[in-house]
């Protein structure tokens, strides 16, 4: 979890969650994360991008928003994502496609509107940076919620405007040990679909605890999850931390 700039009414839950993830001090020792992803789910074909990201590596800066994927549809290509610009680069690092201010390009999209390659690069950049770093800037503890007979503690996280994510307000759910169990958000660039992101398969890498199994499902107005519908599936391995 990235730096917490402002923590309001977070009580002990925020400290418990940070400790369960390995602690901020250990996180601050690194500036870079790399991992291998195997991805599935119904989203990619619906958006006209089936197979592009089935088997890729993602790199993520931990203290600034940057997350390239490679290969990106061809062995020699990689994406480059920041909130204000996305690029697709060739093996020499030359940008063969680029888009400034990419988020407005989704404004008229319906749920099933196909994406361009640059729009795909923007979505997976902001999504994976969110999932791998989970920054919190304004944090408020909410009432616990029961799920499958268990009480999950909740934090509401508010993102600043200068960072790109699914939505400005998101909700994190934690188990009794402070480990992340669920992440709710609205995917604004996919017609505001309400999603619930479930986590499992936790591993420890350099003392930092991370989930390796991600399943993202739709949820209804009552926050009930439709687990029969997998929007995105992500399995992660070969995780490494380092310095940029």
CATH number of domain containing 192: 2.50.20.10
When computed from its CA atoms, the radius of gyration of the chain, rounded to whole angstroms, is: 17
- The whole-angstrom separation of Cα 191 and Cα 188 is 6
Q: What letter does residue 175 receive in the DSSP assignment?
A: -
Q: What is the pLDDT of residues 80-123, one digit of tens each?
A: 999 999 999 999 999 999 999 999 999 999 999 999 999 999 99
Residue whose entry in the numeric block shows the structure tokens 């361009």: 116
Burial label, 110 (beta-carbon count in 10 A; 0-12, 13-18, 19+)? exposed
| pLDDT recorded at residue 40 | 98
Residue 155, pLDDT > 50, answer yes
Q: Which long-range contacts (CB under 8 A, 24 or more apart) does 149-158 make?
A: 150/175, 150/176, 151/176, 152/181, 152/182, 153/13, 153/178, 155/10, 155/13, 155/14, 155/17
For the ranges 8-12, 53-57, 181-185, the lowest mean pLDDT is seen at: 8-12
Give the CA angle between residues 101, 134, 70 to the nearest 5°.
Answer: 60
Range of the domain at 100: 4-242
Residue 8, pLDDT > 60, answer no
CB 18, CB 177: distance < 8 Å? no
Averaged pLDDT of the chain: 92
Split at pLDDT 50, 70, 90, the class of 1 is very low
Considering only residues 11 and 221, tell me which one the structure prediction assigns the higher pLDDT.
Answer: 221
Split at pLDDT 50, 70, 90, the class of 223 is very high
- The whole-angstrom separation of Cα 213 and Cα 232 is 11
Considering only residues 150 and 131, tell me which one the structure prediction assigns the higher pLDDT.
Answer: 131
Q: What is the pLDDT of residues 27-49, one digit of tens each?
A: 889 999 999 999 999 999 999 99
Residues 151-173, mean pLDDT to the nearest whole number:
93
* pTM score of the predicted model: 0.92
Residue 2, pLDDT > 70, answer no
Q: What's the structural domain count of the chain?
A: 1
Residues 187-200, mean pLDDT to the nearest whole number:
97
């Amino acid at each position: 979890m990235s730096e917490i700039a402002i923590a309001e009414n977070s009580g002990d839950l925020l400290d418990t969650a940070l400790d369960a993830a390995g602690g901020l001090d250990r996180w601050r020792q690194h500036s870079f994360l790399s991992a291998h992803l195997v991805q599935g789910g119904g989203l990619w074909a619906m958006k006209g991008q089936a197979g592009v990201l089935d088997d890729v590596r993602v790199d993520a800066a931990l203290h600034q928003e940057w997350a390239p994927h490679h290969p990106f549809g061809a062995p020699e290509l990689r994406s480059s994502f920041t909130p204000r610009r996305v690029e697709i680069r060739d093996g020499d690092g030359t940008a063969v496609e680029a888009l400034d201010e990419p988020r407005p390009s989704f404004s008229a999209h319906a749920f099933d509107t196909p994406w361009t390659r640059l729009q795909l690069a923007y979505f997976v950049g902001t999504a994976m940076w969110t999932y791998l770093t989970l920054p919190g800037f304004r944090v408020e503890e909410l009432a616990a919620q029961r799920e499958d007979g268990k009480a999950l503690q909740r934090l509401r996280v508010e993102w600043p405007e200068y960072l790109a994510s699914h939505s400005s307000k998101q909700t994190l759910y934690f188990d009794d040990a402070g480990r992340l169990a669920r992440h709710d958000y609205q995917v604004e660039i996919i017609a505001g679909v309400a999603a619930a992101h479930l986590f499992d398969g936790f591993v420890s890498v350099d003392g930092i605890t991370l989930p390796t199994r991600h399943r993202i499902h739709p949820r209804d107005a009552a926050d009930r999850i439709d687990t029969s519908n997998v929007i995105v599936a992500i399995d992660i391995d070969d995780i490494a931390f380092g310095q940029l």
